Structures are given as C-alpha cells and as structure tokens.
Structure 1
Amino acid sequence: MGHYQTMTRAWRIAFLLGATATLTACEDGQGFDFLKKKEAGEVAAVETEAELIEGSAETIEREVEAPDVFQASEDGLWDGRPSLGGVWVAYPGVKDPERVVIRNLANNKTVIGALFRRERDNPGPKLQLSSDAAQTLGLIAGQPTKMSVVALRTESVPVEKPAISTLSGSESLPAPDAIEAQPLDPIAKAKAALDKSTAAPAPKPVAAPVPKATEVAAAPARKSSSSLAKPFIQIGIFSVKENADNTATSLRGIGILPAVKQGSSQGKKFWRVVVGPSGSSSERATLLKKVKGLGFNDAYFVTN
C-alpha cells in the first residue's frame, strides 16, 4: 500500500512540472504559432490595402501649348483702331477659331486670346492684333513687332495622393504618462459638492430659437443640357475683368444674359464672355445674328 501511494505522488509531481513548462514556453513566445500567423496575415492585408490607396491618383485639367495645331512666329501689327471681342489675333488660312497664347518677343509679355481667320489680305504683317491684345502686350500702333502665337489644348494630368502610413506589428506606441494617485476623502468631497449646489442656482431652461421662414425663394438653376455639341457662343476673351464685365453689361441691355467665366493658363488669368446654352440650331443661329448685330463679328460657337 505504501508503494502505491509513493508512485501516485510521483506521477502528480511529473504532471505539474510538465504543465508549468508548457505555460513557460507560451509566455516566452514559443507556443501558439497559429495566433502569430493570424496577426501577420492581418498586417499584410492592411499593408496591401494601403498600397492600393497610395497607387490611386486624381487628375486635374490644365492647358498646354499645342504647336502642331497652330504656331506662327513673325511680325504682328495693331493698326491703331479700337476693336471689340477682347483679346484676339487674326491670321490668314485659319480654319477654326482656337484659344492661343500670344507673346510679344520684344518684351516677353504674354496674354491668352482667341485666334481667327483674317478676312482681309492687307499689305504688311500677316498677324493682326486687336486693341485689347495690343494694350496688354505693349504694342505701338502701326509698328510691326515680332510675335509668337501658339494654340492651346486641355489635357488631364494625374495628381498623386499623399502616402498613407500604417503601423506595423514591430512598431510600439509610446508609453502613457504616469498617473499620480491621490487619496480621496469622501466626506470632504460630499461637503464641497453640497456647498457648490447651494451657492450656484440651477440654470433656467432657455427655449431654442425658432428659425424664420425664408422670405425669398432661391432662383431656379439655369438649364445647361443641350443636344448641340457647341451650345454656347463666345463673345470674346479679355485680359482685364472690367472689360469683360462691361461687355456683359452691354449684352444685358438688349435682353441677352451672358456669363463671365474666369480661366488661367501658364499663370495668366483671362475672362471669357459667353452666352447660352442654346437648345437648338435655329435658336443658336438667331442668337449669333443678334450678337453680331452689336458689332461682335468674331463671336463663335464653343462647347462651354
């Protein structure tokens, strides 16, 4: 009987030693590998998602020079007469109106304007400039000046998003600041609370203000949908906003509602005056005839 008790006690001691060794191995990080694999998989999934987000990019539109569409480097002339339509230049053989950048190579001044076909074949330089273009570029009336005219085109440029950083499993967060423990006196705290409630009266409820009804209804949005590829008519391009506003005012005087749209190219601001959109070809033709009757003979159809 004594031998049996001795053997039982030995087996219990061996079992306890084995269990202790197993727990020690887990605490040292040598056990439960399936938990480590799961954590590694979660970190990999987060990193993959971050890489996908970083790889995505937005696009913006900007105007760039397109010399293959139109380019001319030769003498330009302003005849000294005032002209309508803002900033423009005319050149023989132009098929369609274009938006161009005009440079005065003598003083390096630039301006954004419109390019039209020159109707009259007068003697002298082929490039004929408007009065607004001449004023902005510093041209002297009747004096030929070396000019450069290049067409502009709109292109989409990708803009990369900022990288999103993620915390990996190896990085550790900073330790929190130590919290100083102070003894709490329940009797003193209760007395202070009673004194505070007696000294400060309870605030009276304040009724929330009732919003006033809107007196003026918002104006309905202007309809912009049209089946035409070019439903708008561009009156002119201006380098000075005041000139664009004055042109828009003259159009409103005869019942035409224009819009002044600001743009920029190569750091230069410009303002376009457009009217529309027209719902049909006949409506657009009638509007163009009315505009040209005011003297804006260089008005033409545009997309927007």
Structure 2
Amino acid sequence: MDRHEVSLFSKARPLLMATAAGIILTALSGCDAVDGLGFGQKSPSTEATSTSTKLVERDVEAPDVFSVTDQGLWDGRPSLGGVWVAHPDVSDPERVIIRNEANGKFVIGALFRRERDLPGPNLQMSSDAAAALGVLAGAPAPLNVTALRREEVGTPAEDSAPDTTVEAPASVTETPLAPVEAIATAALETTAVEAPAPAPAPAPAKASSLSKPYVQIGIFSVEANANRSANQMRSAGMLPTVKRSEINGKAFWRVVVGPASSKTELTALMKSIKAEGFSDAYAVSN
C-alpha cells in the first residue's frame, strides 16, 4: 500500500466506524421492542385495571312500609316459628328488624297481625324473640319494629390486573434459536393429556308461575333451631331449605319449603305445614 492509499484509508476510517455504530444501535433498539415489551417499561396491556362490578343482595330498613315503637310483651309460653312479633296494624306478613331500646339488642324476625281486642301491649313477641332481645316473661319492654326490604347493590370486583414492570437485565446474552423442524418434532412427541369429562349440569329448578312459590315457616336467630324445624319438615315428607342471611353483623336463618308449581300445590303445602304446628307460615318469593 503506497502513501496515497494509506491517506485515503485514514480519512475513511471514522466514517466506517460511525456507520457500524449506527447499525448496532438500530439492532439493539429492535430487540427492545420484541413482543411489544420495552425493558424497564410497563406494558400498555398491564396498565388497565378491572372496573367490573358484581351485584349482591342485602336487607335494608324500610320505615315507609312499617315502623312502630311500642311496648312489647312475651307471655312466657313457648312458641313455634322462631323469632316473630305481632301488631294490630299489620296487613301482610313482613320481615322486620326488632330492637329492644332498653338494652340495645336487636334481632331479625317476622311480623304478623295481632287481634286488636286482645289484652296487653300492642306488640306481642315469641319466646325466641324474647330470648334474643333479653326480655323476661311478663315484663313489657320498649321495642322498635321496622320492616326490611331486599335490594341489589353493586360492589367492585376484587380481581384487578396488577401493574407489571419488566426490569432491564444486567447483561444480554444471545441464545441460538432452535430450528423450526426441531420444535415441531418435540411438540409431536409430547404425550397428549386427555381433557376431563365435563361435570353433569345440575337439574333445573321446577318452573312456577307463582310470584310467591315458597312457604316460610320461620326466622331463627339460632342455627340449631332452624335446622330442628327443617328436620321436622323432612320427617313430614317435605323438602325444606335453610337460608342464612346477615344484617348489621348479625346472622339469622330462614326456613322455607318449596317451590310450589301451582296455586293448588301451594295451598296443599301450606295446609301440611300448618298441620305440623306452624300456624304462622306464609308464602314468600324466595
């Protein structure tokens, strides 16, 4: 190489180095964008959080339907039907919250109509209600009775997608990719796993044209009492359901029988239940 050629190579060397550096940077930036993920950056798909809601049912007080504050009395006799009170101004049975304003205790129960000409305070209570409210036999207590209504409310879904950050590795090591033919062969050699058979679908509930196809035999503040009443229904050839609910942190259990598919079946069901001693049983929607 003569002096003229050496001079030309010296002048072209910086240009060649700059061009090579640009090619390397372009290649690295392309690697960072593989699969839409940039190292050290959040994936756009993981920044979205779930905003779905689910509907739950709960009991809320409905004083516009019924609310009264009056003296209540338990006459000392044991009674069936769980927790209940009776008042002369009631037209239809209601689910209510009963508060003893003397000691702050409360319980969920049923409200029935009481004959107006009966002696004593306007509110009469069952033995289970008296036990839950701390009321002694023959000793009137100040009670507040307010109707309850079931409503649906929306609550945020608990499962939201967490933010995920992909940290940049300390160094990048190239790993040769396996040939496509080798990957396909390995996939074919993998042992196939048979999918489990789908579980049988539950039997559909019996259709009913009635707005209130169930019969409620009682509301109980003690689960054992609810189960005892349900067992009595089973012994009589009926199919009861014990339903647990909660309001203001206190649980209660309803025992219902049904559903009846027709008015005739509902009447017969009501007659059988009252023959077992639950004279205050009444039709409900669920």
TM-score, scaled to structure 2:
0.73
Query: Any conservation in 2 of the 1:238–1:270 contact (CA below 8 Å)?
Result: yes
2:131 corresponds to 1:135: yes
Partners of 1:54 and 1:64 lie apart in 2 by 28
Amino acid at match of 1:261: K
Alignment match, 1:158: 155
Shift of 1:222: 8.0
Shift of 1:158: 0.4
2:87 to 84, 91, 98: 91
Give me the CA root mean square deviation.
Answer: 3.6
Shift of 1:298: 1.4
Query: Any conservation in 1 of the 2:46–2:164 contact (CA below 8 Å)?
Result: no
2:19 corresponds to 1:22: yes
- Map 1:129-208 → 2, pairs under 5 A: 129-154=125-150, 155-161=152-158, 163-168=160-165, 171-172=167-168
Alignment match, 2:113: 117
Partners of 1:246 and 1:108 lie apart in 2 by 28
2:234 corresponds to 1:234: no
Aligned residue for 1:249, secondary structure, equals: helix
Please give the per-residue CA displacement for 1:100-149, whole angstroms capped at 9, x wherever unaligned.
22111112222111122223442432222111111221112222211122
Alignment match, 2:283: 301
Query: Any conservation in 1 of the 2:46–2:162 contact (CA below 8 Å)?
Result: no
2:248 corresponds to 1:266: yes
Amino acid at match of 2:215: I
Alignment match, 1:214: none
1:78 to 69, 74, 79: 74
TM-score, scaled to structure 1:
0.69
1:69 to 65, 80, 94: 65
Partners of 1:123 and 1:10 lie apart in 2 by 126
Alignment match, 1:184: none
Q: Percent identity?
A: 46
Aligned residue for 2:47, secondary structure, equals: helix
Shift of 1:251: 2.5
- Map 1:8-47 → 2, pairs under 5 A: 14-25=11-22, 35=30, 46-47=43-44
Partners of 1:174 and 1:84 lie apart in 2 by 75
Q: 1:146 to 1:15 in 2, by over 3 A?
A: same
Aligned residue for 1:271, secondary structure, equals: strand
Shift of 1:287: 0.9
Alignment match, 1:277: 259
Amino acid at match of 2:251: K
Query: Any conservation in 1 of the 2:53–2:154 contact (CA below 8 Å)?
Result: no
Shift of 1:283: 0.6
Query: Any conservation in 2 of the 1:66–1:151 contact (CA below 8 Å)?
Result: yes
Partners of 1:34 and 1:172 lie apart in 2 by 13
Shift of 1:238: 1.2
- Map 1:206-225 → 2, pairs under 5 A: 223-225=205-207
Unaligned ranges ≥5, structure 1: 176-217
Aligned residue for 1:286, secondary structure, equals: helix
Shift of 1:36: 9.4
Which stretch of the first structure deviates more once superposed, 73-82 or 54-63? Answer: 54-63
Partners of 1:83 and 1:100 lie apart in 2 by 18
Please give the per-residue CA displacement for 1:64-115, whole angstroms capped at 9, x wherever unaligned.
3333332222221222232221111112332332222211111222211112
Which stretch of the first structure deviates more once superposed, 287-296 or 63-72? Answer: 63-72
Please give the per-residue CA displacement for 1:218-266, whole angstroms capped at 9, x wherever unaligned.
9x95844423222111011111223223322332333223222222222
Q: 1:6 to 1:48 in 2, by over 3 A?
A: same
Query: Any conservation in 2 of the 1:86–1:130 contact (CA below 8 Å)?
Result: yes
Partners of 1:141 and 1:174 lie apart in 2 by 80
Aligned residue for 2:209, secondary structure, equals: coil
Give the greater-gyration-radius structure (CA): 1
Shift of 1:166: 2.6
Query: Any conservation in 2 of the 1:263–1:269 contact (CA below 8 Å)?
Result: yes
Query: Any conservation in 2 of the 1:65–1:151 contact (CA below 8 Å)?
Result: yes
Q: 1:73 to 1:15 in 2, by over 3 A?
A: farther
Q: 1:160 to 1:252 in 2, by over 3 A?
A: closer
Partners of 1:50 and 1:301 lie apart in 2 by 51
Unaligned ranges ≥5, structure 2: 172-199
Alignment match, 2:51: 55
Amino acid at match of 1:242: A
